[in-house]
Amino acid sequence: MEADNLQNDPKILMQLAKSGDAEAFGRLYELYFIPVFRYIYFRVKDKEETNDLTQTVFLKVFCSLPNFKGQNKSPLAYFFTVSRNTVIDHWRAKKEIRLDDPESVFEKIPDKANSPLELAEKKEASQAVHRAIQELTDIQQEVIVLKFINDMPNKDIAKLMGKTEEAVRQLQCRALKALQQILKNQELI
Amino acid sequence: MNNQNDKKIEEIIEKTLEYIDSGKTPAEIFDLFPKNQETVKEILTAVSLLRKEGKSIVPSRELFRQTMDKIASNVTNEFNPRYHYMEEVQGRPSLKKINNITKIHDLMTINWKIWAPVGIVAVVALAIIGSYQFGTKTPQAPVTGETPQVPVVQETPGSPIVSQELPLVAVTKPATGNVDDAVNAILAGISDDQALFDDAAKDAELVAADSQAISDFGQSYNENEF
């Protein structure tokens, strides 16, 4: 049981992957593929671009494994740092922050709603949430996505964003307060 | 008043987030704020909506597989159709197949800076040596039997007589066995002797002339005259 836990420890997996263990990297890939995809999706708001960028992130991480240093560094933070830089590079290349149409975004999201009414309600709620997130400042969007979409601990968010944990907490408070107001205005809460 | 309210909301949010991080359930958190349940409810609903929205974003299995394949093709020798055509295209002409041409090409492109000056210097050196060896030796003219030139004495008034002597060349004609040729040769020898005698006579005349000039000079000077 303990050995199994050790085998799933991202830090150990990262070290194994660094020494050329393809299976360990496969396990990391399974662990972080969805969080990385979600983070990128909420940053670029386009599923096709998200697909490309997610692939880019994993290839980048794989190629940079020999350069990964430190037992102290969280592999999740490392993956998100690469993701963040990839998104920034993508924006630089596009020279614009894409404000996608939530309608088209939603259509690409798989949904398991049973009835057309449920589907319509979910669609509306999702659109409203996306609109609300987009009304936040860029830094607020990032902190909200990392905290509530990716469930990252404040310690990792602070490292990733180059801020103190206290600064991250304050950012989260302000972002959540703004979001609460926006959702309230949209009568979602 | 509004600022105070804002500050209060911020405090509630901060506390709520702390409780969320510490692993408390929404119901527990809700109970912890009996006076601000409305605000807490809004915050918890917003957080719930965000989390729900996040969970609805799922990458496709196809993308998962594609990415895995890309990573695998980066590190293993697995078959990758992207590069397969390179192995299939065998008939395309390539410089590498023509070994001699490539060798010459390599030699010319790699060493020409060294070999070209060396070659030029070698050619120039050979040309100089060749000119010294063969250029100074002119081919000898065949003997024609012409009589050698007799030394000519040029006499100009008021200037010393200069005798321009040509180098003596012994000209011998090969014997032909013909009497006429022999007679001609003897006559030519006589004429040569005659020329020599004439030269000797001229020299004697010159000596006499000199003697006469000295004598005339002696007569023009009388030591008793003064």
Kindly report, residue by residue over A131-173, the tens digit of the pLDDT.
889 899 989 999 999 999 888 889 889 988 889 999 999 999 9
Question: Which of B88, B111, B130 is at the close of a domain?
Answer: B88
Given a contact cutoff of 8 angstroms between Cβ atoms, the answer to whether B67 and A58 are in contact is: yes
Question: Pick from A126, A133, A148: which is nearest to B56 by CB?
Answer: A126
Residue of B42, B47, B67 lying closest to A148 (CB–CB): B47
Total domains present in chain B: 2
Per-residue tens of pLDDT for chain A, all 189 residues: 455 555 678 888 888 888 888 888 888 888 899 999 999 988 888 888 899 999 999 988 888 888 777 666 778 888 888 999 999 888 888 765 444 444 444 444 455 556 777 777 777 888 888 888 989 998 999 999 999 988 888 988 998 888 999 999 999 999 999 999 898 888 777
Please check whether residue B56 lies inside any domain of the structure.
yes
State the pLDDT at residue B81.
Answer: 45
- Tell me whether A113 touches chain B (CB under 8 Å): no
Residues in CB range of A135: below 8 A, 6 or more apart: A178, A182
Closest residue to A189, CB basis, from B14, B17, B46? B46
**Chain-chain contact of B59 with A183 (C-beta, under 8 angstroms):** no
Domain end: B41, B60, B88, which one? Answer: B88
A153·B21 Cβ contact <8 A? yes
Q: Give the number of other CB atoms < 10 A from CB of residue A15.
A: 16
B163: in domain:
yes
Q: Give me the pLDDT at residue A101, please.
A: 45
Per-residue confidence (pLDDT) for residue B221, from 0 to 100: 56
Q: What is the pLDDT of residue A144?
A: 93
Contacts with A26 from chain B: Cβ below 8 Å: 68
Confirm whether B30 is domain-assigned: yes
Distance of CA A187 to the CA centre of its chain: 27
What residues of chain B score a pLDDT lower than 70? Answer: 1-2, 74-112, 135-175, 217-226
From the list B42, B63, B67, which residue is nearest A184 (CB)? B42
pLDDT of residue A119: 76
What residues make up the domain containing B200? 144-226
- Give the minimum alpha-carbon distance from A75 to chain B in angstroms, rounded to a whole number: 18
- Selecting from B51, B54, B67 the residue whose C-beta is nearest the C-beta of A58 gives B67
Interface touch B57/A176, C-beta < 8 Å: no
Final residue in a domain of this structure, among B88, B104, B119 = B88
- Please tell me the predicted confidence (pLDDT) of residue B99: 57
To the question of pTM greater than 0.90 for the whole model, the response is no
Asked whether residue B80 is domain-assigned, the answer is yes
ipTM for the assembly: 0.75
pLDDT at A72: 67
Q: How many CB pairs under 8 A join A and B?
A: 111
Say what the pLDDT of residue A160 is. Answer: 87
- A169 vs B57: CB contact, 8 Å cut-off? no
Contact B50 A150 (CB under 8 A): no
The answer to whether residue B214 is domain-embedded is yes
pLDDT digits (tens, 9 = 90+) for B6-44: 888 888 998 998 998 888 888 888 888 888 888 898 899
Are residues A63 and B74, on separate chains, in Cβ contact within 8 Å?
yes
Residue B181 resides in a domain:
yes
Please tell me which of the candidates A63, A130, A176 has its beta carbon nearest to residue B46: A176
pLDDT at res. B126: 93
Instruction: Give the orientation angle of helix A154-161 with respect to helix A75-94, to 10 degrees.
Output: 40
Kindly determine whether residue B49 and residue A129, on different chains, have CB atoms separated by under 8 Å.
Answer: yes
Residue of A21, A28, A38 to mutate, interface with B, max B Cβ within 10 Å: A38
- For residue B225, the model assigns a pLDDT of 57
Q: How far apart are CA A150 and CA B27, in angstroms?
A: 22
Mutate to test the interface with B, among A180, A181, A183 (most CBs of B within 10 A): A180
Question: Does some domain include residue B53?
Answer: yes
Whether residues A149 and B50 touch (CB distance < 8 A) is answered with yes
N- to C-terminal Cα separation, chain A: 44
The answer to whether A168 touches A102, Cβ cutoff 8 Å, is no
Residue A79 contacts B where some CB pair is shorter than 8 Å? no
Query: Chain A contacts of B14, Cβ < 8 Å?
Result: 169, 173
Whether B135 is in a domain gets the answer no
B74·A188 Cβ contact <8 A: no
